Structure 1
Amino acid sequence: MRRAPSVAPELPGYEYVSVLGSGGFSDVFLYQQRLPRRRVAVKVLLTEQLNPSTQAQFVDEANLMAQLSTHPYIVTIYHADVAGDGRPYFVMEHCSGPSLAERYKRQKFGVEDALRTGVRLAGAIATAHSAGILHRDIKPANVLTNDFGWPALTDFGISSSLDEELPVQTSTGNHRPAGSESTGTGESQSVGMSVPWSPPEMFEDDPRPDVRSDVFSLAATIHTLLAGQTPFEIHGRSNGTLDLIGRIERGAITPIGRDDVPRSLVAVLAKAMATRRDDRFATAVDFARALQRVELELGYAPTGIDIPTIAGTEHGKPDAPAGDDETRARSVVSIAAQAPAPARAAPATPAAPPAEPDQADATRVRGARVIEPGSAPSGSALARSADAGTPAPGTPSPAKETTVVRPRGSVRAQEPVSAPAAADDAPIENASGRRRLVMIGSIAAAVLLIGAVVAAVTLTGIDNSALTPSASPVPAKPDSVNSAAGVPAPVLEGTATSEDGSQVTFTVSNPSPLDGDVYRWARAETPNQPKLSAVADITVDGVVPGSTVCVDIYLQRTDGKISEANRACNR
């Protein structure tokens, strides 16, 4: 039998309105704040359950919650203090909407709404993890709905140490089925969990949950929203606590049973609810990105992952940041001119090198890789010969460049251009002799040009179509395959910043190119504004000079399948 709620304390600056709910260790009341005037929820801990240790723990948890309160999908804490009667309390945002538990019991969530909710909550949980907080009791009833209709995660930390039940929960039975909000037996009070959404490690004699435990519970919550029941509940069979624990430990997930839920989403949820922690997503951000890929697959705008700026910058960097010299060399990529005419490729050799030779070499090589279609294949090869065949003095050739053979053939194709000049220097006796010499020189140039092209094709083992910009060569790298879609992630080759700092270019390559492949990318802070690029150089405009720029880059096939994101940052 549930106890009656305690008497609401007198709080200066607040007017008592009503009781919102009662838990095992606290009561929650609705108050009207006088200034600024707004309704707030006040959680009051019970004096009979407190001791110096729990009081100190309450203060620590309140401070941690305050650090998380700026997140848009975490319930905000406004104030914490001790009432005149000695009971500690804190003032929270009042979420007037129903909890997710109330919503899914009325109607199952649509796929788009469930995905959006999952990504938003994953960002909230990742933010808590970055502050060193494990929730340990993620479930639909612990996600409220604020006045904007957004999800608001509540009971961080405190639920696992001081309060086992949802503060606003008003009806919890002792013998409810799997959808129950029961938190287990009295022995589990120090752990704080709800069995239907708990991972198997929580049932060990000495539970040691980690971030992957919260990922499991979040995935179980999303499964519940879609299925209208908990993941391990089976209709028509016993769904007691021991039954659920056995199924959770065996990984016997009940199918969602909806035709509109794609297989890719089912696979993502199954991975997040794997029995072995090592088989799950390593972080909440990884889980959120997997949900984003499903959104893209279904044609939805990807939901933003709201995480702290520092955490977002550090997470998922593919490599250590490049040195300043490399950045300056790459910076010219975004403003390099198009490839010169074939006749001028060879004379580029004696040109005076710029102030920094390594920049000139890197720029010429990368500049040729962004040539737009429109020039003849041979012109494309000649442009590459000018880039790779005439490095600046003392500059080593890039280790990743694989088109060394092609420039040699192209340079030889340039040599006949000098033949007419030699003929012009010879004595000319009459007009017919001049025409004869010109004809001979032209024939010789054509023969040598054809021979050079044939030699290049033979040595490189590709046809003329491979010389066009749409099939630019890429270095051989191991595939990073998306297990759900089988699409390799793009590989970051380098970054570049323009001289004025207002543009940043990310150069990527396709490990396994197919016809029609494009790069889908978006800035990390605006993932719902993706763009497509058919070329390997992705330029971000409007950058604040000196700032860190991060983008999520995907490889997209013609059939709509999307790779995992490769997050690239310029620092």
Structure 2
Amino acid sequence: MSRRVATQAPDLPGYEYQRLLGSGGFSDVFLYEQKLPRRKVAVKVLLTDELDQQSRTQFVAEANVMAQLSAHPYIVTIYHADVSADDRPYFVMEYCSGPSLAERYKRERLPVEDALRIGIRVAGAVATAHAAGILHRDIKPANVLTNDFGWPALTDFGISSALEEELPVHTTTFSRREAATAVPNDSTTRQSVGLSVPWSPPEMFEDDPKPDVRSDVFSLAATVYTVIAGHTPFEIPGRSNGTLDLIGRIERGAITPIDRSDVPRTLVAVLAKGMASRREDRFATAVDFARAMQRVEMELGYSPSGIEVPNLVSSARPERETADSGDETMVRSVSTVLAQKPAPPAPVAPTPPPPSAAARVPNPSAASAPDAEATRLRGMPAVAAQTPAPASEHTVIRSSLVPAPAADPPVVEELEEPPSKRRTGLIVGILAAVLVVIVAVVVAVALVPHTSTPKPAAHSAGGDDGTIQVSSVPDPKLKSAVRSADGTSVTFTWTNPKPKAGDHYEWQQEGTTHGAETTNTPTATVTGLTPGSAVCVDVRIIRSGVASPNPLKACNP
């Protein structure tokens, strides 16, 4: 397919032409230097050939969409829109001097850390568009540029649409029937208007496609895969990769395995979920996809990248009925998206009554504290002061309360006790010392990690009403069981309903003789399978040497 010749750059007042940046199906992009303020800008000019009202309307819509979203740090900023002297609509936008992701992945495979950071930042841009009711519908490496700061910048909203709208009139889809007549082995350059096949979800190949936010999630996951693998997700090196071949693999969900040893299995599972054939199996939102990538960052020891999603204020907000409302400074907050939702604080266990010795020693400081706090301080066992447990994120460390010395201690007249009482006191003291030693030994044994295979067990504690309260390690819950494209491996992923620091997992493939394997992440991959064969694993949560009582049995298929 031959490329068309670019049109001549228009003469724009206040701008000096530099050079051609690129050409698309409906427009050319030129580099200009703006005179005031002085800066380099990119100018997108609509073609005049066969210029109809629909094309003009769509061009104006793109300018309005980008203007609405251009405050986002990872979306290309638009500065101005107008019509040139030769009657060609154009708009002036931010010039991104760096290479696009399409240029970068063709030169080299991006490091995992860079790919995750870029993916999370672009996901925030996509989520912002979705929050404004806009689908991008053409997310791909070529539409993610790099600005002067080295940040990704999402662009080309030319075929975007509102969530409740139908596809634009000029946008055509690429059905299987049309793909049969496409040029073979042209997967990376051949595309119909509004559809980039290698990164498109299967619903876009239907006769009446109805994309939604999960369609953009698919394309975003496919883009992240591409920059990591160095090729598109459904392209098999050395094989036929024509349009019909790609559509068939996309519809079957036959993702090509990533040939990199530094890519963790958890990231492979996240990308596979993002590119699931059924949109119901994908991440529901771009923020959910970004959160999953944040968790991979933390697993690898990286600081989680921020998900930039500002609060969008409805245009239908009523005006403030105050005389000076025009002079008010309006403060708009920014949403902070966490990698994981914070765990609820652990319930406070019932405390034993205070010892009799503490009852005889006055403590004015403790008495002045709130009742709940004083109860917790008085109920602290002696061993906790010697070996304190590590503080969690929700733990507040308070300063200890020191009893104030009495001004005039009372004078106590010492009376000699009878010999029988002295012997009784001695025996009681010895028994108390023995009891303290036994308790210390039990606590020490409990703190030593067990090396043998843990047994399912439950801990019991007495309630205030005399009943027995039993709490055990939670049972894992299956999240997914995804088979690789070649059918020789299956990745199982599960969840820990009530995670605690130090939790890890044991899993074992059924029907094997070797022992269980241990992992710190809730995922396991079974390899060396025969395509189509069934495989099952048993999974337990291990907490302080105690295993969950009911193992998770997960199978595929």
TM bin, normalised by shorter chain, reads 0.5 to 0.7
Give a deviation string over 1:106-151, Cα, whole Å, max 9, x none: 2222222222222222222222222222111111111112222222
Aligned residue in 2 for 1:148: 149
Amino acid across the alignment from 2:89:
P
Aligned residue in 2 for 1:180: 188
Equivalents in 2 of 1:85, 1:369: separation in Å? 84
Any conservation in 2 of the 1:196–1:231 contact (CA below 8 Å)?
yes
- Bigger relative contact order, structure 1 or 2 (CA pairs below 8 A, ≥6 apart): 1
| TM-score, normalisation: structure 2 | 0.62
Would the alpha carbon gap of residues 277 and 472 (structure 1) be closer, same or farther in structure 2, given more than 3 Å must change?
A: farther
Equivalent runs, 1:96-135 vs 2, <5 Å: 96-135=97-136
Equivalents in 1 of 2:221, 2:25: separation in Å? 26
Aligned residue in 1 for 2:87: 86
Would the alpha carbon gap of residues 216 and 448 (structure 1) be closer, same or farther in structure 2, given more than 3 Å must change?
A: same
Any conservation in 1 of the 2:475–2:496 contact (CA below 8 Å)?
no
Identify unmatched segments of 5+ residues in structure 1: 166-173, 334-338, 378-423, 492-508, 516-557, 564-571
Aligned residue in 2 for 1:292: 294
Aligned residue in 2 for 1:375: 386
Q: How many residues align?
A: 419
Aligned residue in 1 for 2:140: 139
Equivalents in 2 of 1:302, 1:435: separation in Å? 71
Would the alpha carbon gap of residues 80 and 488 (structure 1) be closer, same or farther in structure 2, given more than 3 Å must change?
A: same
Is 1:62 equivalent to 2:63 in the alignment? yes
Equivalents in 1 of 2:144, 2:169: separation in Å? 18
Any conservation in 1 of the 2:187–2:246 contact (CA below 8 Å)?
no
Amino acid across the alignment from 1:144:
L
Q: 1:240 aligns with which of 242, 246, 255?
A: 242
Equivalent runs, 1:231-270 vs 2, <5 Å: 231-270=233-272
Would the alpha carbon gap of residues 243 and 353 (structure 1) be closer, same or farther in structure 2, given more than 3 Å must change?
A: same
Would the alpha carbon gap of residues 363 and 222 (structure 1) be closer, same or farther in structure 2, given more than 3 Å must change?
A: farther
Any conservation in 1 of the 2:187–2:197 contact (CA below 8 Å)?
no
Give a deviation string over 1:243-267, Cα, whole Å, max 9, x none: 1101100011111222222222222
Amino acid across the alignment from 1:510:
K
Would the alpha carbon gap of residues 347 and 279 (structure 1) be closer, same or farther in structure 2, given more than 3 Å must change?
A: farther
| TM-score, normalisation: structure 1 | 0.60
Any conservation in 2 of the 1:111–1:261 contact (CA below 8 Å)?
yes
Give a deviation string over 1:306-341, Cα, whole Å, max 9, x none: 222667458889699x9xxx9xxx9xx9xxxxx999
Structure 1 position 289, deviation (Å): 2.2
Equivalents in 2 of 1:366, 1:314: separation in Å? 36
Amino acid across the alignment from 1:437:
K
Give a deviation string over 1:337-390, Cα, whole Å, max 9, x none: xx9996665579999999997xx437855997999954379xxxxxxxxxxxxx
Aligned residue in 2 for 1:437: 421
Equivalents in 2 of 1:156, 1:348: separation in Å? 75
Equivalents in 1 of 2:208, 2:445: separation in Å? 60
Is 1:30 equivalent to 2:41 in the alignment? no
Any conservation in 2 of the 1:74–1:124 contact (CA below 8 Å)?
yes
Any conservation in 2 of the 1:25–1:164 contact (CA below 8 Å)?
no
Equivalents in 2 of 1:452, 1:164: separation in Å? 80
Aligned residue in 2 for 1:224: 226
Structure 1 position 82, deviation (Å): 2.9
Any conservation in 1 of the 2:123–2:290 contact (CA below 8 Å)?
yes
Structure 1 position 70, deviation (Å): 2.4
SS in 2 for 1:80: strand
Is 1:15 equivalent to 2:23 in the alignment? no
Aligned residue in 2 for 1:4: 5
Equivalent runs, 1:123-522 vs 2, <5 Å: 123-156=124-157, 158=159, 161=168, 175=183, 177=185, 179-184=187-192, 189=193, 192-308=194-310, 312-313=335-336, 360-361=371-372, 364=375, 373-375=384-386, 428=415, 431=416, 433=417, 436-441=420-425, 443-444=427-428, 447=431, 464=443, 488=495, 510=500, 513=503
Any conservation in 2 of the 1:178–1:244 contact (CA below 8 Å)?
no
Q: Taking every aligned residue pair, what percent have the same amino acid on both sides?
A: 57
SS in 1 for 2:217: helix
Structure 1 position 17, deviation (Å): 1.7
Any conservation in 1 of the 2:367–2:374 contact (CA below 8 Å)?
no
Decide which structure has greater helix share.
1
Amino acid across the alignment from 1:281:
F
Identify unmatched segments of 5+ residues in structure 2: 162-167, 173-181, 312-332, 389-411, 450-458, 462-469, 481-490, 506-517, 524-557
Equivalents in 2 of 1:88, 1:371: separation in Å? 79
Would the alpha carbon gap of residues 32 and 349 (structure 1) be closer, same or farther in structure 2, given more than 3 Å must change?
A: same
Would the alpha carbon gap of residues 344 and 270 (structure 1) be closer, same or farther in structure 2, given more than 3 Å must change?
A: farther
SS in 1 for 2:134: coil
Equivalents in 2 of 1:224, 1:102: separation in Å? 11
Equivalents in 2 of 1:372, 1:452: separation in Å? 10
Give a deviation string over 1:85-106, Cα, whole Å, max 9, x none: 4332211111112211111112
Equivalents in 1 of 2:380, 2:497: separation in Å? 16
Aligned residue in 1 for 2:179: none
Any conservation in 2 of the 1:296–1:562 contact (CA below 8 Å)?
no
Any conservation in 1 of the 2:221–2:274 contact (CA below 8 Å)?
yes
Structure 1 position 34, deviation (Å): 0.6
Equivalents in 1 of 2:301, 2:199: separation in Å? 30
Structure 1 position 273, deviation (Å): 1.0
Equivalents in 2 of 1:286, 1:48: separation in Å? 43
Equivalents in 1 of 2:207, 2:362: separation in Å? 74
Would the alpha carbon gap of residues 437 and 233 (structure 1) be closer, same or farther in structure 2, given more than 3 Å must change?
A: same
Equivalents in 1 of 2:378, 2:139: separation in Å? 51
Which has the larger displacement, 117-126 or 441-450?
441-450
Would the alpha carbon gap of residues 295 and 562 (structure 1) be closer, same or farther in structure 2, given more than 3 Å must change?
A: farther
Equivalents in 2 of 1:36, 1:472: separation in Å? 73
Amino acid across the alignment from 2:151:
W
Structure 1 position 217, deviation (Å): 1.0
Any conservation in 2 of the 1:25–1:163 contact (CA below 8 Å)?
no
Any conservation in 1 of the 2:31–2:42 contact (CA below 8 Å)?
yes
Equivalents in 2 of 1:298, 1:270: separation in Å? 19
Is 1:39 equivalent to 2:33 in the alignment? no
SS in 1 for 2:135: coil
Decide which structure has greater strand share.
2
Give a deviation string over 1:417-459, Cα, whole Å, max 9, x none: xxxxxxx99x95xx3x3565355245446657978999x99xx
Structure 1 position 23, deviation (Å): 1.6
Equivalents in 1 of 2:114, 2:290: separation in Å? 14
SS in 1 for 2:309: coil
Any conservation in 1 of the 2:58–2:158 contact (CA below 8 Å)?
no
Equivalents in 2 of 1:226, 1:57: separation in Å? 34
Give a deviation string over 1:210-244, Cα, whole Å, max 9, x none: 22111111111122112221111123332211111
Any conservation in 1 of the 2:32–2:43 contact (CA below 8 Å)?
yes
Give a deviation string over 1:276-327, Cα, whole Å, max 9, x none: 112112222222222222223333333332222667458889699x9xxx9x
Would the alpha carbon gap of residues 131 and 9 (structure 1) be closer, same or farther in structure 2, given more than 3 Å must change?
A: same
